[in-house]
Structure 1
Amino acid sequence: MNFEAATLDDLMHDVFEHILNHGHNNNASKGPNIEVLGCELRLTNPIARVSRTESRGLIFSCLGELFWYLSGSNDGCHIAKYIPKYGTFVEDDGSIHGGYGKRLFNMHEKYDQIKRVIEQLKIGTGTRKAVIQLFDSSDLAEDYKDIPCTLNLQFVVRNKKLHMFTMMRSNDAYIGLPHDIFVFTMLQEMLAKELECGLGIYHHYVASLHIYNKNINSAKRFINEGFQATDSIMDEMPCIGFFSIRNELLKFESEIRHGIDLNINELDLCDYWKDILRLLQFYNKKESGNFQDLRYASEVRKKITNKKYQGLINNRERIKKSKAIKKIEGNNMQKRFDNISDIISGIEAFEHEQFKLAGLQRVENYISLSMQITDSIRRIRFIEEINKKHISEHRKNPHSDIFDPLRAAWLHIRENNKNEAYWLIFLATHFGKHKKEGWKLCADIYGGLGEELWTWNRVSHNPNDFSLWFRKASIEIKKNKPQRKFGNHRKYESLNYNSSRPLQTVVQTYVDWVGVSKDHETRFLDLSNSNNVNNKYELFDVAYKSMKGILSFGRTAKFDYLTMLRKFSLQNIEPQNLYLSGATGPKRGTSFLFFGNKDSNYSVEELNQNLNLLAEYLPIDILSSQVLEDALCNWQKSPSAYRYFGG
């Protein structure tokens, strides 16, 4: 069967379709497959050797394999850096028996076959002896883990063009074919430049061309991506002979692979080879997962001069987005996460323009964080949404089973009783909503255990009366069955009147914080005027710091209370950072996101700076810092598997 195309994508498209439609089942040593026998593939433009598709745009692994061959080595560690599956083929001595590098440049420890082919073609361009033998009879003498699939390579110059013929005993069309064509056509072009002739057709002959059953669906997805653009991603190789700079390039690749920082800009090379090295450097830095390396990789990426490489990298990274959305669709959660595409696009843009996020190198982590951010946005929007609906008057009544301090706050705002709304929000923040008991503890205190309500007017003018009442009430509350409990974030608080942080003192210090006016809006106005506040971020910061005197109202409580005032439109304030000093979950989540380590030693200032930068890329139009604080706190508990947290 003959196939001919101008690009690798078109060639693979035709090959995959033919194998899937006309192939026959075969059981081979590496697994069941569908194969066709006796195929010739012709690539009329060998420079169009890189796939533009998301699934087969394998530029990094292809370049890694190319430099492995060119090194003349069969070292298993070298290629495993780029293609980890090669690790299964490593022999006891650390080599891969079937590797082509040593066979190309040092066959039988004495033949440099590349050199001899060049010599043959320079002596007589009409020669038919320019053949490189890769498969050897000795390959069958022992049970090696890997033997060459390629039998030989032949080079023929006709009409001042170098044509190449590759003969293969076996070829995995989905995995191996794009790598083989890339490496061999690069070799073809290198020799053409060395011989100062044009680039002819690349011929690829295969006895058994197959797709393994495990890759059938992937091959179908490749076909469904449709036909790609026909122009080549790679530029034509420069005229200067590759072999004159081979040793330099191999040295640079080795330094990159071993983590040595190489300033490629200063190398005495043309942009073609600098970009090749930048691609290798980008890949190696990105794969390390180290925060500094990820930032380095982002800077390297920006310096790549061939913009088509940039597009190829973008296509590869969009795989994360498609996998995330497919996972969500598969779990029937598309309605709940209908805006996740925008979240993912924002993270992608950040990684493209800034630096890679160390905690998102696994697709599962990427999906989980995107879903947590979406959840957090929805939780914040929930406060606004409940105000759009009818709210029963019973929600204000703490003696009612459906009492809800947050819905009650909205009712008081509608009645212009804003001080009561502030007070209810404070109580809701301090007590929290218990997973099983709900708002019952808040209702008991606010409702005076079924007697007169402890409204803001009453408690602010009579805090001592509240203290006397609570001395007796604390005993009664403990008798309740089931036991009244604080919400999750407040679970270490106590209802003991004689505790180190008793409720009566919490209330007294809150009343003192509001001040002698007993009016919350006056308090915020005083804070603004006395501190020369210029914007909503400064007012939040001033208010946050001013609340340090409120007993048992730490970092989380202050942050939640003040952001809640913004959600109720009581104050136009907003945090400019996450106030990570003293935080646990949010700080661990932030550290893991940027540095891949929940307990990194990076400063709070640097963590906040990075988060503010990330927030600019995300479609969050209100309280972006709280969204990220909530999302990262939940995400770090289960980075690779999404779990719903009620908040």
Structure 2
Amino acid sequence: MITGPVFATFTDAYLAVLGEIYQRPSYSTSARGKTATEAINVSFTIANPVARTPYLAARRANVVFNHAEALWYLAGRDDLDMIAHYARRLRGLSTDGKTLTGTAYGPRLFNPSAPDGLSQFDRVLNLLRTDPDTKRAAMLVMRPDELADAGNPDVACTLALQFMLRAGRLHMTAYMRGNDAMVGLLGDTFAFTFIQEFAARLLGVDVGAYGHHVGSMHINALNIPAVERILAEQTVHVFPHTAMPAGTSWADLDTVLDWEQRLRSNQDTFSPDRVDLDLYWREVIALFEVHRQITHYPDQPVTADALDLLRPGHRWLVEQRWPDRMPAAVSP
């Protein structure tokens, strides 16, 4: 079979990509002031896209941002208020200080558009319902006009996303012009597989494999020390991967997004008894409650009660990311 390597989980793929580019780069590049080592035409498949989170202490992944970004896309938003709250570096990509363009995939994928008033996402799901074997269920992201301004700081890295429904399983493929292997690869794969899983729930089918194809996969020179620490890590932690519940709907996402806004603005505090949602989504909201405490009360440790609301893998990631904000008894 003429395909790229297949990995069981994203962690396996992530470590393989970092190792290959670090040890055997094809090129050295310098674009837009960034020097990088690069491999071109990189492809891989993840057999279980639900296993989208790498538990690597040296990586210190921001699992709160990962969920916020996926929800930001699904909500069709382009505002800085939400996403830059979880990743301040994104403010540097905005030309008006209020919105993002290329980075904001949500409006292109999930907002209604002409001629039928449906979103690209709705169109491809409708197509899959009527023609399950279709090869046309693709959603375009990068637009030709993004290259009209050579100084545009925010050109979409993703070209397209494609769904394929085969043998009762929803597969997904991402096509990217470029991908930062250290930073962007993790966030992009998390968000895209989250969208894939949500689409599978809406269609009432199982989640299939996830394919990732990139023209330029690269490691920026400034990130080489971090990559070395990740590759040198002796222990890869393993936690159960929790699947999105069957029957998940847009109404569930609306509830989660409502709580995200209230917690981001410090207008409320979360407790599980206040929401009628599956445990999966209550654990997602709990991440935003923990982040609320970290953001709005910088001189206080996160409460043990809030940490206890997290699923084990999320709690471990939070402890790695913000060790100085943990109660003394749980500080790693």
Match of 1:138 among 145, 169, 190: 145
Contact kept in structure 2, 1:51 and 1:58, CA below 8 Å: no
Contact kept in structure 2, 1:264 and 1:277, CA below 8 Å: no
Partner-residue secondary structure (3-state), 1:81: helix
Q: Does 1:106 align with 2:111?
A: yes
Q: How big is the shift at 1:6?
A: 1.3
Sequence identity (%): 27
Aligned equivalents of 1:225, 1:147: Cα separation in 2: 34
- For 2:174, the aligned partner's letter is T
Q: How big is the shift at 1:15?
A: 0.6
Match of 1:279 among 266, 287, 310: 287
Aligned equivalents of 1:73, 1:58: Cα separation in 2: 20
Match of 1:126 among 133, 140, 165: 133
- For 1:51, the aligned partner's letter is P
Q: How big is the shift at 1:308?
A: 2.5
Q: Which has the higher helix share?
A: 1
- Equivalent position of 2:315 in the other structure: 310
Q: How big is the shift at 1:231?
A: 5.1
- For 1:105, the aligned partner's letter is F
Contact kept in structure 1, 2:270 and 2:286, CA below 8 Å: no
Aligned equivalents of 2:58, 2:205: Cα separation in 1: 34
TM-score between the two structures when normalised by the length of structure 1 = 0.47
**RMSD (CA atoms):** 2.2
Q: How big is the shift at 1:193?
A: 1.0
Give the unaligned 5+ runs of structure 2: none
Aligned equivalents of 1:227, 1:198: Cα separation in 2: 31
CA pair 107-96 structure 1, distance change in 2 beyond 3 A? farther
Contact kept in structure 2, 1:6 and 1:230, CA below 8 Å: no
- Equivalent position of 1:76 in the other structure: 80
Give the unaligned 5+ runs of structure 1: 321-346, 354-647
- Equivalent position of 1:289 in the other structure: 297
Match of 1:47 among 19, 28, 50: 50
- For 2:48, the aligned partner's letter is N
Contact kept in structure 2, 1:16 and 1:173, CA below 8 Å: yes
Partner-residue secondary structure (3-state), 1:2: coil
- Equivalent position of 2:13 in the other structure: 11
Q: How big is the shift at 1:230?
A: 5.2
Aligned equivalents of 1:256, 1:116: Cα separation in 2: 33
Match of 1:246 among 238, 253, 265: 253
Q: Which has the higher strand share?
A: 2
CA pair 11-120 structure 1, distance change in 2 beyond 3 A? same
- For 1:250, the aligned partner's letter is L
Q: How big is the shift at 1:295?
A: 5.7
- Equivalent position of 2:277 in the other structure: 269
Contact kept in structure 2, 1:3 and 1:14, CA below 8 Å: no
Q: Which has the higher contact order (CA 8 A, sep 6+)?
A: 2
Contact kept in structure 2, 1:48 and 1:231, CA below 8 Å: no
- Equivalent position of 1:237 in the other structure: 244
- Equivalent position of 1:215 in the other structure: 223
Residues 439-450 of structure 1: pairs in structure 2 closer than 5 A: none
- For 1:47, the aligned partner's letter is V
Q: How big is the shift at 1:42?
A: 1.0
- For 2:154, the aligned partner's letter is D
Contact kept in structure 2, 1:97 and 1:147, CA below 8 Å: yes
Residues 299-338 of structure 1: pairs in structure 2 closer than 5 A: 299-304=305-310, 306-317=311-322
CA pair 115-32 structure 1, distance change in 2 beyond 3 A? same
Match of 2:214 among 206, 211, 216: 206
CA pair 255-317 structure 1, distance change in 2 beyond 3 A? closer
TM-score between the two structures when normalised by the length of structure 2 = 0.90
CA pair 179-231 structure 1, distance change in 2 beyond 3 A? same
* Structure 1 moving runs of 4+ over 6 Å: none
Q: How big is the shift at 1:129?
A: 1.3
Contact kept in structure 2, 1:286 and 1:297, CA below 8 Å: no
Aligned equivalents of 1:297, 1:82: Cα separation in 2: 20
Larger Rg: 1
Q: How big is the shift at 1:162?
A: 0.6
- For 2:131, the aligned partner's letter is G
Aligned equivalents of 2:78, 2:49: Cα separation in 1: 26
Q: How big is the shift at 1:111?
A: 4.6
Aligned equivalents of 2:33, 2:195: Cα separation in 1: 28
Partner-residue secondary structure (3-state), 2:65: helix
In the alignment of these two chains, the number of paired residues is: 322
- For 2:15, the aligned partner's letter is H
Q: How big is the shift at 1:227?
A: 5.4
Aligned equivalents of 2:179, 2:34: Cα separation in 1: 13
Q: How big is the shift at 1:317?
A: 4.1
Q: How big is the shift at 1:2?
A: 3.1
Contact kept in structure 2, 1:37 and 1:207, CA below 8 Å: yes
Residues 175-574 of structure 1: pairs in structure 2 closer than 5 A: 175-226=183-234, 228-229=236-237, 232=240, 234-265=241-272, 266-291=274-299, 294=300, 297-304=303-310, 306-317=311-322, 350=328, 352=330
Contact kept in structure 2, 1:281 and 1:297, CA below 8 Å: no
Contact kept in structure 2, 1:2 and 1:41, CA below 8 Å: yes
CA pair 31-68 structure 1, distance change in 2 beyond 3 A? same
